[in-house]
Amino acid sequence: MVAELATLRDQIDEVDKALLNLLAKRLNLVAQVGEVKSQHGLPIYVPEREVSMLASRRKEAEQLGVPPDLIEDVLRRIMRESYTSENDKGFKTLKPEMGAVVIVGGHGKMGQLFSKLFKLSGYQVRVLEQHDWQQAETILSGAGLVVVSVPIHLTEQVIHRLPKLPEECILVDLASVKNPPLQAMLAVHNGPVLGLHPMFGPDVGSLAKQVIAYCDGRQPEAYQWLLEQLQVWGAKLQAISAVEHDKNMAFIQALRHFATFTYGLNLSQENVQLEQLLALSSPIYRLELAMIGRLFAQDAELYGDIIMSSEDNLALIKRYYTCFGNALSLLEKGDKAEFIAEFNQVKAWFGDYATHFLNESRTLLRQANDSRR
Ligand code: NAD
């Protein structure tokens, strides 16, 4: 019996080694694809190719009696690896004749990320940091693109401090709040203006599949190449007006971050034992705890700025507070029937999205479970 097991295990080892060899071969091919894409300025992430390739593999898996979800999981993981390594190949310069890229705040977290990407794409990059303003004219001379990447609360002030830029220079900001910086940029510069909000932090391995919201300011034809360059890096672009952007961010960022902040605050005041909570948490609870804890590993200044960026955020958070209080009164009254009625109302409001989110989170949770030791 035991000998039989050993033989089978040996065979599994052989198959795993064969898989490893195939994996090495695949990564090598992907590296060659990376070279070709880099030379021709093609995006590292092509959604249609990914969708059709996965669909074919799922069909073939079914014919072989392999669960289609298994091959999809494996391939997605391999592709993620490939996107990150495609970064190292460098990217095509889509606007070779352009003057230097100047990143104001270029030594900060996002500034460094974008500086690296522009350099990998063959652009000349200069940095204008907080102590460089005396040499600002020199640093900015002949600039083809100026990217403002300073803390949100300083963004408008810094934009107003910029000396007159060349007429054809593109002025861009990366702030997480869009309308006030966009208005400031339009006011100080007569040339092309664009607002960008990278919907990710500086720790992403690659821009593949990462969303960048963009708000047109002025002369969009002059910065189409820049939008294409972001796509070459793998980003998914989402056009939106600055006002709509800020309305949506109030929910995606301000309210969420504030709720997370207060939840963390409460955990600390209740002085719970995180170790025990973790030991008792299956993947879903672990993930929920991780989503809270990760906030506190980041920059308090940035989150403070995002939450406090507008009066509208405060009003929204106050409405949430009222809603929380109303929901609490259901508990005080012990009114389970009302709780269920409200629960079902919200369920109806979410509609098909509720099932969609259940399925999506199920996949995420399976992956979270895989990475646990
Ligand atoms: P950061 O604090 O890491 O960097 C800001 C940089 O600006 C620093 O190097 C600082 O020295 C410099 N700076 C400050 N005052 C200056 C001045 N007067 N002149 C020139 N430079 C000055 O901040 P960050 O996280 O890189 O954020 C930069 C921008 O990117 C913010 O607008 C933020 O909203 C946006 N953003 C950040 C993230 C993120 O997760 N960090 C995500 C999306 C967007």
Cα gap 352→360, rounded to integer Å: 12
Is the Cβ atom of 176 under 6 angstroms away from ligand 1?
yes
pLDDT at position 111: 98
Note the pLDDT of residue 15.
97
Q: pLDDT value at position 370?
A: 75
What is the structure's pLDDT at 82? 81
pLDDT of residue 6: 95
pLDDT digits (tens, 9 = 90+) for 211-242: 999 999 999 999 999 999 999 999 999 999 99
195 touches ligand 1 (CB under 6 Å): no
> What's the DSSP call for residue 213?
E
User: The tokens of 163 are what?
Assistant: 């000396």
Host H or E run for residue 235: none
- Please give the Cα distance from 311 to 308 (Å, whole number): 8
Q: Which atom of ligand 1 is nearest to the CA of 110?
A: 26
Q: Which residue has the tokens 């259940």?
A: 358
What's the whole-number mean pLDDT along residues 299-319? 95
| Averaged pLDDT, 233-256 | 96
Specify the residue with its C-alpha closest to ligand 1, atom 10: 105
Distance (Å, rounded) from C-alpha 48 to C-alpha 52? 6
The residue type at 200: F
pTM summary value: 0.87
Region of 299 on the Ramachandran plot (φ > 0 left; ψ -120 to 50 alpha; else beta): beta
What pLDDT is stored for residue 20 in this prediction? 97
- The residue whose CA has the least distance to atom 18 of ligand 1 is 130
* pLDDT value at residue 256: 97
* Residue 157 Cβ contacting ligand 1 at under 6 Å: no
Q: Does the beta carbon of 158 lie inside 6 Å of ligand 1?
A: yes
| Residue range 13-40: mean pLDDT, rounded | 92
Question: Smallest Cα–Cα separation from 173: which of 274, 260, 102, 248?
Answer: 102
* Residue reference for tokens 């259901």: 330
Q: Is the CB of 50 under 6 A from ligand 1?
A: no
Q: How far does residue 154's CA lie from ligand 1's centre (Å)?
A: 9
> Looking at residue 88, what is its pLDDT?
67
For 129-143, what is the mean pLDDT? 97
CA of 181 to the centre of ligand 1 (A): 13
**How far is residue 120 from each of residues 37, 90, 284, 303, measured CA to CA in Å?**
14, 5, 38, 30
What is the model's pLDDT at position 262?
Answer: 98
pLDDT tens for 173-198 read 999 999 999 999 999 999 999 999 99
Q: Does residue 171 contact residue 185 with C-beta atoms inside 8 Å? A: yes
| pLDDT for res 122 | 94
* Beta carbons of 87 and 206 less than 8 angstroms apart: yes
Q: Is the pLDDT of residue 373 over 60?
A: no
Report how far ligand 1's centroid is from the alpha carbon of 137 (Å): 21
φ, ψ of residue 185 in degrees (nearest 5): -65, -40
Q: Does the beta carbon of 220 sit less than 6 angstroms from any atom of ligand 1? A: no
